């Protein structure tokens, strides 16, 4: 029987919207350096602060990936059900076809819209020109290994390559886990990640550590039979508090990613143990709007980039707007245009490749 925690969809939904809003800050106005145009308006400035660390949503997705892939494993003596071939084929079916179609859509948009074809000192500049090797590397899912390819065509797609590569390491994590223990295997893969970070930093190999955190979080969650009533509030405070510090102090880098992985893993552990022990709904995270966003979260992540670039370039070319006014228009565009298009993409494309 497939074990499912509905509140995970809510987390995915929040995370997907968070990263899209973050990218909308980068795609607002001129600046190939990806600078945020901070507003003097209190409301907009507060939104900007809250979304300025939206790139951490990828860290949350990676921890969730490790957690979800580990669910059938921890209930099967730490072994992959059906063996490696079944595992990797299911992962490929779920991840790659929607990615390829989103990649094709991105390429077609560049081909069809002249605005997307030339550099104009915006965040879109790093996505063009589309070269032979940028296409080949994206098809082969190794575009994250070279700084010349990593952000081409659709910048958000770098993380798809990283996640796909981590999938191949997962069985090795389990083999080492069974031959030693969870802590030794975690340390070995953490050291591997740090070594790879020196060689290929653009691939974000530190996400290997976060993925393994998700696996350990799942293991501990299913071993826990009792619950401490203070665990969930403590985990929420630590997670939200750390994010607030990162946003206010404009912290960045590896340490921020690592702390986010730790605090989110703790939050995930507390929510899962609470759900298992009480059976109660986690009302906010299981609401219908967040459930819907969670369902389309992968599609939203895959296709939003070129649309944000297009609306920004269109506004710059045709309207004399302040950075604040343009940002509000882009925010509205996300909800009025991008999310409906994403919904269509989900039903026509992604839904066909969901594993049963």
Residue 250, pLDDT score: 76
**pLDDT higher than 90, residue 168:** yes
Binned at pLDDT 50, 70 and 90, residue 279 comes out as: confident
pLDDT confidence band for 3 (50 / 70 / 90): low
Residue 128: closest CA among 148, 156, 105: 148
Q: Is the pLDDT of residue 129 over 70?
A: yes
Residue corresponding to tokens 């070279």: 146
**pLDDT score of 339 more than 70:** yes
pLDDT at 299: 98
CA 251 to CA 60: how far, in whole Å? Answer: 17
Residue the block writes with tokens 């098809």: 139
Kindly report which listed range (33-42, 157-166, 194-203) carries the lowest average pLDDT score. Answer: 33-42
Q: 253 or 103, which is more confident?
A: 103
Nearest to 167 by CA among 271, 283, 80, 46: 80
Q: What is the pLDDT of residues 292-303, one digit of tens each?
A: 999 999 999 999
Structural tokens at position 283? 């009302």
Q: How far is 221 from 231, CA to CA, in rounded Å? A: 13
The pLDDT tens digits for 44-75 are 999 999 999 999 999 999 999 999 999 999 98
Chain mean pLDDT for the chain: 94
Q: Is the predicted pLDDT of residue 227 greater than 80, yes or no? A: no
Is residue 249 pLDDT above 90, yes or no? no
pLDDT at 228: 81
DSSP characters over 236-276: HHHHHHHHHHHHHHT--SHHHHHHHHHHHHHHHHHHHHHHH
**pLDDT over 80 (residue 356):** no
pLDDT (0 to 100) of residue 2: 60
- Confidence at 33, pLDDT banded by 50, 70, 90: confident
Question: With 60 as the cut, is the pLDDT of residue 1 above it?
Answer: no
> What's the confidence (pLDDT) of residue 355?
79
């Amino acid at each position: 029987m497939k074990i499912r925690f509905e509140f995970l969809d809510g987390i995915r939904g929040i995370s997907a919207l968070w990263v899209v809003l973050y990218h909308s800050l980068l795609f607002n106005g001129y600046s190939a350096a990806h600078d945020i145009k901070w507003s003097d308006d209190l409301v907009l400035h507060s939104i900007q602060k809250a979304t300025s660390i939206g790139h951490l949503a990828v860290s949350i997705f990676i921890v969730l990936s490790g957690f979800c892939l580990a669910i059938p494993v921890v209930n099967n003596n730490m072994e992959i059900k059906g063996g490696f071939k079944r595992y990797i084929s299911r992962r490929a079916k779920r991840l790659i076809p929607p990615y390829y179609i989103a990649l094709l859509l991105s390429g077609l948009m560049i081909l069809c819209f002249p605005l997307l074809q030339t550099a104009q000192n915006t965040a879109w500049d790093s996505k063009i020109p589309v070269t032979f090797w940028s296409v080949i590397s994206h098809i082969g899912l190794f575009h994250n290994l070279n700084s010349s390819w990593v952000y081409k065509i659709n910048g958000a797609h770098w993380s798809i390559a990283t996640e796909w590569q981590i999938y191949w390491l997962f069985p090795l994590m389990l083999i080492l886990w069974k031959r030693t223990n969870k802590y030794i295997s975690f340390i070995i893969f953490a050291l591997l990640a740090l070594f790879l970070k020196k060689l290929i930093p653009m691939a974000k190999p530190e996400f290997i550590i976060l993925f393994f955190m998700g696996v350990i979080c799942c293991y501990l969650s299913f071993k826990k039979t009792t619950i401490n009533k203070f665990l969930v509030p403590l985990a929420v405070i630590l997670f939200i508090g750390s994010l607030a510090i990162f946003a206010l102090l404009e912290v960045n880098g590896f340490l921020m990613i690592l702390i986010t992985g730790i605090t989110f893993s703790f939050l995930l552990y507390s929510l899962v143990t609470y759900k298992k022990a009480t059976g109660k709904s986690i009302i906010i995270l299981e609401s219908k709007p967040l459930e819907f966003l969670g369902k389309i979260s992968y599609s939203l992540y895959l296709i939003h980039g070129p649309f944000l670039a297009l609306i920004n370039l269109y506004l710059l070319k045709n309207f004399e707007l302040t950075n604040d006014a343009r940002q509000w228009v882009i925010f509205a565009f996300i909800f009025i245009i991008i999310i409906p298009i994403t919904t269509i993409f989900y039903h026509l494309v992604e839904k066909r490749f969901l594993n049963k």
